[in-house]
Structures are given as structure tokens and as C-alpha cells.
């Protein structure tokens, strides 16, 4: 597949040339207007071109950048959208997967293999999880093949808090139009087990989510290499005030540079902050904002020009943004929508050292992403999302603590709530994929949680993307032999460092594409996204990578 004509890097280069030669970028076929703005940005050292918030701030002052983006994109093949979801602090494999001897649709394990409810403190919560199938493998063949437990699989499939079909209460404030049954033929789901950390010496630090220790975040790598051409850069969200950064320097989500020391290129904001930025674009003016038929400015334009194209496009663009803003505003509302605390549902979040009902902050991020994809020109296509799951430190999965360290700024979900919102949010994103959006989603953590609920090393990852010829297919990457037993060391404690074992299915590759007999880590899964996007865009981003840095998971194609 050839790359689209819109190439951000090429445009920036052209902008430099234009600045030197006086060449009118506006006259470039296919990129009307955008060149003006990008050229201006290039000359403005104060604007971080990777930071969607800063770019919007600048764009909103100049306004037309949105219009420019819109127009530049109008004739282009739609580019890819990337969503990286970081789950900190650590993930607990049994809460999502049911591993063990699979026979006739049922998984059996020995008593020494923990199930999802092994560490639940509230009897009601334990009962809820059991009744919804957290200790059982999914009864749906598709998810059974992925070894999802029934509870998580149903949440993912239906996009609801209890995994049932949508009702007035199980959507947690999300609209019925935001979720849908996960498409069997348009959305691929891939799961990766026994996934190691990129640096096993670092305990839940943000840099554990990077592509490699000496490479940046996936979102930044993709943006820099033009695999993802997000005109306004990277949108980076945080949920909750802080996470328990442990050995990290940065307490909130950020897009990190290649510097091995944590160095933020794009810092995170709330959904509401982003929505407020976009709101400035459409709302704050005395000048007429009416539609073209009634617009006073448009009528005044006609005094000197019979066809004021720029104005017409500007007015129409604003109208489209207004429409999109309605949805974005609802995303911001969801962010502050706090559930009633029900310990029997384990829907808790830490707030100032106390458990309260969890707000739907992660769902808000997903709704924002979904709504953004409908904005004219898709000005934002690169997203870093954050699920703030509490640092259990031996605590139960249904309780939201303050990060184990007494840090009241940590506003993390209980593990149950974190996986619940993760499943629902993935469904919302999958719906957009099913609608035809070229979006790929990767979920991973900085590590895993041990059976004792202590900080540990080995976790899992998930990928969602478009399904179909040349695209992705469902796949489970695991050591199938090991997970299909009633007990063994890996099953007994999926989070231990020793549980990061090599898969016995095809997937992990060396940089040259040959099969690699090694343990996959979270960076390898992310590098699989890079390889997939390379194939889709025709670009080469991994050229200089070799050895361990060049390894990748070959995501299964349909």
C-alpha cells in the first residue's frame, strides 16, 4: 500500500523550503492551506509539534489550522489511528484470562492455581465475580480461544459493566450508541501471555511502558516516523491525579522520549482539558457563527467576492466541529461521572485516602477517542490512554488503595473496576473499528502482579485492530502447552519473572523476520504494531533497529 500524499514530515520540509524560496505552499495540490500553518509552527520554537494540547492551543489562536487540516485531509486516503493504553500499576492475568486444562469448553485447574477471585475481600464482590464467570473460561468460542474469562469476555463483547446486553444501568453513563456487540468479522482481537518487562529492574515506572529502554513511547515513535500522521500530534490522557510511580520520576501519564531517564515529550491532561481547548475553536467569538445561509460575515464577504471559498469552508468546518464538540462534551461529562460506591461491585476508586465510587474516567478517554475520529479532517490520530489501577501491594483486587504508600494523590481504581472499564472502553474503540476506522489499539502494562498480589514482572497485552484480508485476525500468543495443563509453575503464579516463558506458537520474530526463540516483552508487542503499520503505510521505521531492539511480534494477519 502506498503512503498517502499527506506526509507531515514532507510538509514540514516543504515549509522550510517555502520559507526560503517564497514558494506558496497553499498552491500545492492536495495540501491547500495546511502548509501555511505548518510552516508557521515550524518557525515557532515555543510550540511542541508532538503535543496535541499545545498544538491545539496554538491552532486555536490561529483557528484556521483546524480548517487547514480539514481541507488537507479531504482528498486523502484516511490515515491510521493509534491508541496505546497503559495500565499501571501492573496487571493481574487471572482477572482477564482463565488458564488451565481446557476440555469441552470448561477449564479445570488444581487447587494451587489461583482463579480470579482468589484475592477478593468483599463477599459480595466475590459472589458477583463468580456469578458473572470470572473464574470460568468464556462460553463464547471466539473468546474461549483467546482464553478470556467469561466475565471479561462479556464486558468486552457487549461494552457493559456486567457483561450483559445494554440496559439503563450497566452502561455507566455511556450512551447506547457508544457500544455495540464486538464485531466478529471486522474487529480482530489478539492476546499475548507471558509478556516480560522491557526492563525487569524497574518496578512500575512509566518508562516501563516505552517501546524500548532507549526508544521513545510507541506513540512518539510512530509519529516521528510518520507511521501515524496525526496533524495535531499526540493526545495524552491521565486518569486520577497520580499513579504510584514507585521507581519512576513521573507520577502521571506522559509520552516519553528515547532518553532512558524518564523525560516527557508530551504530558498528560484530563479529557475535560482537551475538550475545553477544542471548545475555544468554535465558541468564543462575537463574529457570526451562523450557518452559511444566515451568516453575516459571509454576506459581507460577497461585497468583494462572489465565491468566498475560504469563508465557506471555515464556517462549515466550525459547524462540523460544533457537532463533534457535543459528543466531546459528553466525554468530559463522563469523566466526572462518579458511580455510587458499591463494594459488592468492587467499583471503587481511591480519593484522598478513602474509597469512593469510581468515576468513569477511562471510559471518557475512550469516548473522546471515538468522537475525535469523527471530527472533520481527523486532526488527532495518536492517543496515549491511561488506566490507573491501584498498586495492590498484597491487597485484594476489589479494593482501591492509595497506592500502597499512603499517597493520597493516587486516585486509582480497584483492579476489578480497572479491568471492567478497560473491557468497556475497548468495546467502544472496537465499535469505531467496526465502522471502518483504521485504528489499532494496544493494551499493556509495565509489569505483572504475582499471585500474592505483590509487584511482579510478567503480564499480558492485548491488541485490537481491523479484521479482514491484509489486516488482522484473532490470535492468542502463549505457550499453549503450558496454559493447557491443570497446574504448573506458570499457572500457579503468572506474574513471576520466571513465568515469562517463550511461546510455542509462531509470533516472535527477529528484526530480519526470522522466528525468534525467546521470551516476548511488552516492547516486542508494541514493535509488532510498528511492523504492521509499516506494511500498511509502505514506510520503514525500524531500519536502524537490530538485535533485541529489532525484535517484534508478527501480528497474525487474516
Minimum gap (Å) between residue 178 Cβ and another protein: 23
Minimum gap (Å) between residue 27 Cβ and another protein: 7
Torsion sign, CA atoms 208, 214, 216, 218? negative
Closest listed residue to residue 86, CA positions, set 360, 369, 365, 386: 386
Nearer to another protein, 168 or 304 (CB): 304
Closest listed residue to residue 94, CA positions, set 137, 126, 31: 137
Closest listed residue to residue 500, CA positions, set 445, 422, 442: 445
Instruction: Kindly tell me which residue out of 162, 247, 288, 534 binds another protein, with binding defined by CB under 8 A.
Output: 288
Rg over alpha carbons for the chain, rounded to the nearest Å, is 23
307 binds another protein (CB under 8 A): yes
Q: Which of residues 20-79 bind another protein (CB under 8 A)?
A: 21-27, 32-33, 36-37, 39-40, 57, 60-64, 67-68
Instruction: Kindly tell me which residue out of 185, 303, 340, 517 binds another protein, with binding defined by CB under 8 A.
Output: 303
Nearer to another protein, 29 or 168 (CB): 29
Closest listed residue to residue 360, CA positions, set 334, 342, 390, 330: 334
Nearer to another protein, 57 or 435 (CB): 57
Minimum gap (Å) between residue 35 Cβ and another protein: 8
C-alpha cell at 427: 468495546
Minimum gap (Å) between residue 391 Cβ and another protein: 28
CA gap 52, 553 in Å, rounded = 29
| Phi, psi angle pair for 321, to nearest 5° | -65, -35
195 binds another protein (CB under 8 A): no
Q: Are 188 and 474 in contact (CB under 8 A)?
A: yes
Minimum gap (Å) between residue 23 Cβ and another protein: 6
Nearer to another protein, 62 or 356 (CB): 62
546 binds another protein (CB under 8 A): no
Minimum gap (Å) between residue 420 Cβ and another protein: 27
333 binds another protein (CB under 8 A): no
304 binds another protein (CB under 8 A): yes
Q: What is the 3-state secondary structure (H, E, C) of 68-117?
A: HHHHHHHCCCCCCEEEEEEEECCECHHHCECCCEEECCEEECCCCCCCHH
Q: Which of residues 145-184 bind another protein (CB under 8 A)?
A: none
- Give the bridge partners for 170, in sequence order: none
Minimum gap (Å) between residue 20 Cβ and another protein: 9
Instruction: Kindly tell me which residue out of 258, 301, 333, 435 binds another protein, with binding defined by CB under 8 A.
Output: 301
Opening angle at CA 313, ends 312 and 319, nearest 5: 95
CA gap 474, 140 in Å, rounded = 14
18 binds another protein (CB under 8 A): yes
261 binds another protein (CB under 8 A): no
CA gap 248, 537 in Å, rounded = 34
Nearer to another protein, 286 or 340 (CB): 286
286 binds another protein (CB under 8 A): yes
The total of other beta-carbon atoms located within 10 Å of residue 511's CB is 19
Nearer to another protein, 157 or 272 (CB): 272
Closest listed residue to residue 488, CA positions, set 57, 21, 496: 496
310 binds another protein (CB under 8 A): yes
Instruction: Kindly tell me which residue out of 81, 160, 253, 277 binds another protein, with binding defined by CB under 8 A.
Output: 277
CA gap 129, 416 in Å, rounded = 9
305 binds another protein (CB under 8 A): yes
540 binds another protein (CB under 8 A): no
Only segment of 170-178, 283-291, 508-516, 541-549 that touches another protein (CB under 8 A): 283-291
Q: Are 472 and 558 in contact (CB under 8 A)?
A: yes
Only segment of 73-81, 250-258, 286-294, 503-511 that touches another protein (CB under 8 A): 286-294
Nearer to another protein, 261 or 304 (CB): 304
Instruction: Kindly tell me which residue out of 9, 302, 354, 540 binds another protein, with binding defined by CB under 8 A.
Output: 302
Q: Are 422 and 85 in contact (CB under 8 A)?
A: yes
Nearer to another protein, 210 or 367 (CB): 367
User: 263 Cβ partners below 8 Å, 6+ apart?
Assistant: 256, 257
Only segment of 245-253, 272-280, 466-474, 501-509 that touches another protein (CB under 8 A): 272-280
| Count of residues that bind another protein according to CB under 8 A | 50
Minimum gap (Å) between residue 373 Cβ and another protein: 23
Minimum gap (Å) between residue 38 Cβ and another protein: 11
DSSP codes of every residue in 350-376: EETTEEEEPB-HHHHHHHHHHHHTTST
Minimum gap (Å) between residue 334 Cβ and another protein: 15
CA gap 167, 171 in Å, rounded = 7
Nearer to another protein, 13 or 299 (CB): 299
Exposed e or buried b per residue across 471-492, where buried means at least 16 C-beta atoms within 10 angstroms of its C-beta: bbebbbbbbeebbbbeebebbe
Cα 519 to the center of its chain, rounded Å: 24
Binding footprint of another protein on the chain (CB under 8 A): 18-19, 21-27, 32-33, 36-37, 39-40, 57, 60-64, 67-68, 272-273, 276-277, 279-280, 284-288, 296-297, 299-311, 314
Amino acid at each position: 500500500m502506498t503512503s498517502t500524499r499527506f506526509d507531515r514530515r514532507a510538509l514540514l520540509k516543504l515549509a522550510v523550503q517555502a520559507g526560503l524560496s517564497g514558494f506558496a505552499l497553499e498552491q500545492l495540490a492536495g495540501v491547500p492551506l495546511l502548509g501555511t500553518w505548518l510552516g508557521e509552527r515550524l518557525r515557532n520554537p515555543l510550540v511542541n509539534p508532538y503535543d496535541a494540547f499545545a498544538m491545539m492551543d496554538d491552532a486555536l489562536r490561529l483557528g484556521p489550522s483546524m480548517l487547514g487540516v480539514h481541507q488537507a485531509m479531504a482528498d486523502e486516503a484516511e490515515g491510521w489511528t493509534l491508541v496505546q493504553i497503559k495500565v499501571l500499576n501492573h496487571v493481574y492475568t487471572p482477572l482477564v484470562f482463565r488458564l488451565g486444562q481446557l476440555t469441552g469448553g470448561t477449564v479445570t485447574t488444581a487447587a494451587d492455581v489461583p482463579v480470579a477471585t482468589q484475592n477478593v475481600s468483599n463477599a459480595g464482590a466475590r459472589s458477583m465475580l463468580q456469578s458473572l464467570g470470572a473464574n470460568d473460561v468464556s462460553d463464547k468460542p471466539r473468546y474461549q480461544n483467546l482464553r478470556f474469562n467469561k466475565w471479561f469476555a462479556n464486558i468486552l463483547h457487549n461494552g457493559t459493566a456486567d457483561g450483559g446486553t445494554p440496559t439503563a444501568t450497566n452502561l455507566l453513563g455511556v450512551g447506547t450508541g457508544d457500544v455495540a456487540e464486538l464485531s466478529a468479522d471486522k474487529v480482530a482481537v489478539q492476546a499475548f501471555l507471558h509478556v516480560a518487562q522491557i526492563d525487569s529492574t524497574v518496578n512500575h515506572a512509566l518508562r516501563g511502558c516505552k517501546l524500548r529502554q532507549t526508544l521513545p513511547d510507541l506513540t512518539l515513535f510512530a509519529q516521528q516516523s510518520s507511521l501515524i500522521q496525526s496533524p495535531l500530534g499526540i493526545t495524552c490522557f491521565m486518569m486520577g491525579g497520580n499513579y504510584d510511580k514507585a521507581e519512576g520520576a513521573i507520577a502521571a501519564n506522559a509520552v516519553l522520549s528515547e532518553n532512558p531517564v524518564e523525560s516527557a515529550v508530551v504530558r498528560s491532561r484530563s479529557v475535560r482539558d482537551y475538550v475545553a481547548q477544542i471548545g475555544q475553536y468554535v465558541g468564543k467569538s462575537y463574529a457570526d457563527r451562523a450557518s452559511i445561509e444566515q451568516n453575516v460575515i459571509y454576506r459581507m464577504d460577497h461585497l468583494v467576492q462572489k465565491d468566498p471559498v475560504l469563508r465557506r469552508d471555515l464556517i462549515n468546518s466550525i459547524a462540523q466541529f460544533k457537532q463533534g464538540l457535543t459528543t466531546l462534551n459528553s466525554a468530559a461529562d463522563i469523566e466526572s461521572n462518579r458511580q455510587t460506591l458499591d463494594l459488592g461491585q468492587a467499583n471503587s476508586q481511591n480519593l484522598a485516602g478513602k474509597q469512593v465510587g469510581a468515576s468513569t474516567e477511562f471510559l471518557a478517554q475512550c469516548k473522546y477517542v471515538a468522537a475525535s475520529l469523527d471530527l472533520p479532517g481527523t486532526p488527532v490520530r495518536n492517543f496515549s490512554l491511561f488506566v490507573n489501577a491501584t498498586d495492590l501491594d498484597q491487597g485484594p483486587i476489589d479494593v482501591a488503595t492509595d497506592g500502597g504508600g499512603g499517597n493520597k494523590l493516587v486516585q486509582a481504581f480497584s483492579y476489578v473496576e480497572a479491568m471492567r472499564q478497560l473491557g468497556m472502553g475497548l468495546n467502544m474503540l472496537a465499535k469505531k473499528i467496526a465502522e471502518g476506522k483504521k485504528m489499532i489499539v494496544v493494551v499493556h502494562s509495565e509489569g505483572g502482579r504475582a499471585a500474592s498480589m505483590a509487584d511482579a514482572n510478567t503480564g499480558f497485552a492485548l491488541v485490537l485492530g481491523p479484521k479482514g484480508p491484509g489486516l488482522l485476525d484473532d490470535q492468542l500468543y502463549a505457550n499453549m502447552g503450558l496454559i493447557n495443563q491443570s497446574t504448573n509453575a506458570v499457572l500457579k503464579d503468572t506474574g513471576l519473572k520466571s513465568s515469562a516463558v517463550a511461546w510455542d506458537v509462531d509470533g516472535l520474530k527477529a528484526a530480519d523476520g526470522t522466528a525468534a526463540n525467546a521470551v516476548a516483552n511488552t516492547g516486542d508487542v508494541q514493535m509488532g504494531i510498528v511492523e504492521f503499520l509499516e506494511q500498511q503505510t509502505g514506510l520503514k521505521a525500524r531500519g536502524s533497529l537490530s538485535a533485541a531492539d529489532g525484535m517484534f511480534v508478527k501480528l497474525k494477519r487474516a
